[in-house]
Amino acid sequence: MKKIEHIGIAVHDIEEAKERYTLLFGAPPYKEELVESEHVVTAFFRCGPNKIELLAATNEASAIYKYLQKNREGIHHIAYAVDDIEIEMQRLKNQGFRLLNEVPKKGADNKMICFVHPKDNHGVLTELTAEIKN
């Protein structure tokens, strides 16, 4: 794993959260994206070399919808950048981590992603991300 790629924050209302984080950073999101496969709408902010992803559910099938039924708004996951996502997935699988998708899937911000169960990381939902090379 190379670095923290972003921190994901679950919110109820993406428009309201975007306004608040635009005030916080003094700059608007550099990217806004609907990820239909994940049933989320996202907004990405830069903070120096780091990124913050706001996530809101688009419907009740969304993991964010379920999360916010049980929890308050707040940090939902930490994403790490990896070079080769398949190698990292296999490495973690061999060590007994539960991968939440068996093959890499397309995520937001031009990434292939894989989630690792929060219970295998002391309560933190963990995401592997690899840049899609065009």
Amino acid at 87: I
Q: Is 130 in the site for ligand CMX (CB under 6 A)?
A: no
What string marks each residue from 27 to 66 as x (binds ligand CMX by CB under 6 A) or -?
--------x--x-x-x------------x-------xx-x
Q: Is 88 in the site for ligand CMX (CB under 6 A)?
A: no
Q: Is 114 in the site for ligand CMX (CB under 6 A)?
A: no
Q: Is 39 left (phi over 0), alpha (psi -120 to 50) or beta?
A: left
Amino acid at 109: D
Q: Is 123 in the site for ligand CMX (CB under 6 A)?
A: yes
- From the list 54, 60, 2, 59, the residue with the least C-alpha distance to 28 is 54
For the chain, helix, strand, coil in percent to 5 are 30, 40, 35
- Which residues would be at the binding site for ligand CMX (CB under 6 A)? 8, 35, 38, 40, 42, 55, 63-64, 66-67, 70, 76-77, 100, 107-108, 115, 117-118, 123, 125
